[in-house]
Amino acid sequence: MKKRSFKPFGNISALTLGGGGLGQVWGETSREEAVATVNLAIEKGITHLDVAPMYGKGEAERVVGEVFKGKDLGDVKITTKCRLGTLPDDEVYERLISSLEKSLVNLNMERVDLFLLPSQLRQDDFQLYTLNEHRETNTTSLSCYYNAVIPAFERLKQEGKIGSWGIGGLGQNQAILEALNHEIQPEAIQCVVNPLNSAGAIGYVDQDFDPQKILTESQKVGVPILGIRAVQAGALTLEMDREPHPSGFDIKDFEDYDKAKPFRKLASEWKMNPSILAHRYALSAEKVSSVILGVKNRAELLDCIEAESLGELSQDQISEIDTALSSGSSL
């Protein structure tokens, strides 16, 4: 598998194995299959595993911990996260270190290479267009981020608990743009990269959230990029392999599946699995160091590895995909 430049690690495999599938966020799997998937990923040259305590209530971290228990990581790098919300400044470090220490126990490790803040960023007075009642628990205000989160991350680096830190590129457009241009920039960002230009259900903070705007700014200011949502929670695959959540929270993902009909038609004409085409699209985005996979088993992983092996799409192919989806009509 090809390696790409990624400043926090030096280089990184073009694909990253994400923990969402391992933690059964994207449908059922077994511990045995999850462990086998991690082992296969490493065998095939993947050098970065991206997990989080919220993936299966720590299950994704425990899977990785089982794989590496008593073993040397070699050139494999580990990322985990802490969903913070907005807290009083003097509580931020303790929340971060408490979460991190639990993750390290799950992982059977003493440090992680990258620690991310997945909480969605917002300006202090910004109101969420949906779920505003969860504003303080699910989003981080810029003042909290500047005054407490960044210093806490830097302290964790000095203490040797983490190698680098970064943010999830979700939330209010303007807040993320401001964070990217702050005097202390994040050392990495996870950006939504897919032909629908959609974050789906997780884009609930800003009604006008524009993933392309965040990606473009990250490219412009030179913050290292990890691509997420390549298949937009299944919307860019042949079929959704899960039922809508009873709460209706993920209805946008299923609406996106309907919007992606022209994409699937084009994939069929090109005799290509839509999932493979979507991953090739994400891998073709400028300055994206690695695309994080949401696979839950070895079969799905092998599809993604095939996508990487086929190489990037041509500009003509990318334009044809963009035109098909923007028109919303069958080709």
Q: What is the DSSP string of 104-167?
A: HHHHT-S-EEEEEE-SEEE-TT---SS-GGGHHHHEEEHHHIIIIIHHHHHHHHHTTSEEEEEE
Q: What is the band of 156 on the pLDDT scale with cuts at 50, 70, 90?
A: very high
- Digit-coded pLDDT (tens) for 20-41: 888 777 667 799 999 999 999 9
* Cα distances (Å, whole numbers) of residue 253 to 118, 201, 233, 285: 19, 6, 6, 22
Of all residues in the chain, the percent with pLDDT exceeding 90 is 88
Q: Averaged over 108-135, what is the pLDDT?
A: 94
pLDDT score, position 26: 65
Containing structural domain, residue 215: 3-327
pLDDT score, position 29: 79
pLDDT score, position 330: 43
What is the per-residue DSSP string for 297-309?
Answer: SHHHHHHHHHHHH
Q: What is the band of 327 on the pLDDT scale with cuts at 50, 70, 90?
A: confident
- Digit-coded pLDDT (tens) for 301-323: 999 999 999 999 999 999 999 99
> How many domains is the chain built from?
1
Domain with residue 9: its CATH number is 3.20.20.100
Residue 115: CB partners within 8 Å, gap ≥ 6? 79, 80, 81, 82, 96, 100, 153, 156, 161, 162, 164, 165, 166
How far apart, in whole angstroms, are the C-alpha atoms of residue 306 and residue 325? 24
Residue 86: CB partners within 8 Å, gap ≥ 6? 135, 136, 139, 140, 141, 144
pLDDT score, position 329: 44
pTM over 0.85: yes
- Cβ atoms of residues 138 and 85 within 8 Å: yes
Q: Is the pLDDT of residue 71 over 80?
A: yes
- Digit-coded pLDDT (tens) for 279-296: 999 999 999 999 999 999
